[in-house]
Amino acid sequence: MSRLIAPSLLAADFANLQRDIEMINASEADWFHLDIMDGVFVPNISFGLPVVEAVKRLARKPLDVHLMIVEPEKYLRKFREAGADVLTVHAEACRHLHRTVHEIKELGMKAGVSLNPHTPVSSLEEIISCVDLVLIMSVNPGFGSQQLIETSYEKIRKTSALIRESGCHALIEVDGGVNMNNAPLLFDAGIDILVAGTEVFSAPDPVRRIHELRMAGEKR
């Protein structure tokens, strides 16, 4: 299958958000990635439901919403109503992860589970057959412009092996520290979806950079 590129709006210019959304619409990107941070689960606050709703009104591509919040199960329906097409929760934030994953799917969204850098892939063994994607955090979540943690490659390979062994069709997404140097290595390790924020929005030509990231995957 083709690899997917999901620019992260966390790195967009919020004074010119419509411009950046229209740029992504016109690019070869596949999804919009939106990081929702509450200042409790992660040490930062990003944006919430009103911004998701505003993006949905302008976006012509699916919204990939990543909840980095405590008690995400309280907000699943609200994010669906706001426009989420893919909703990812953290394994570390869910007391009843299996129930939460199924509620996401019952609401008509694709369900993802994210793992922080310290969380082992083995924690997914009892849930992997139920999820649509696994999001590997390749930095400690909360802030952009961090350097990718080198052990992420092996974690991606372990996740890929678990998916094969289970016989499911979950996709692997990676987020954090992505750039043109490590994108080919991440695709080689087994990812399907590349989230890129600073690498896209800080580029002189973001549309071209999205194309270059896509080519890094297509050539693998």
* Helix H or strand E segment including 32: strand 32-37
CA atoms within 13 A on the CB side of 133: 28
Confidence of residue 33 (pLDDT cuts 50, 70, 90): very high
pLDDT at 145: 66
Domain limits of the chain?
4-218
Question: Does the domain at residues 4-218 carry the CATH identifier 3.20.20.70?
Answer: yes
Residue 8 has pLDDT above 90, yes or no: yes
Residue 39 has pLDDT above 70, yes or no: yes
Which residues pair with residue 193 across a beta bridge?
A: 4, 173
pLDDT tens string 135-169: 999 998 766 667 899 999 999 999 999 999 999 99
pLDDT tens string 205-217: 999 999 999 998 7
pLDDT tens string 166-204: 999 999 999 999 999 999 999 999 999 999 999 999 999
Q: Which residues are known to be catalytic?
A: 35, 175
pLDDT at 91: 96
Q: What is the mean pLDDT of the chain?
A: 95
How is 132-145 classified by DSSP, letter by letter?
A: SEEEEESS-TT-SS
Mean pLDDT of 19-44: 96
pLDDT tens string 67-94: 999 999 999 999 999 999 999 999 999 9
Biggest CA–CA distance in the chain, Å, is: 46
- Tell me the torsion sign for CA atoms 35, 39, 43, 46: positive
Main-chain phi, psi angles of 140, to 5 degrees? -75, 125
Confidence of residue 61 (pLDDT cuts 50, 70, 90): very high
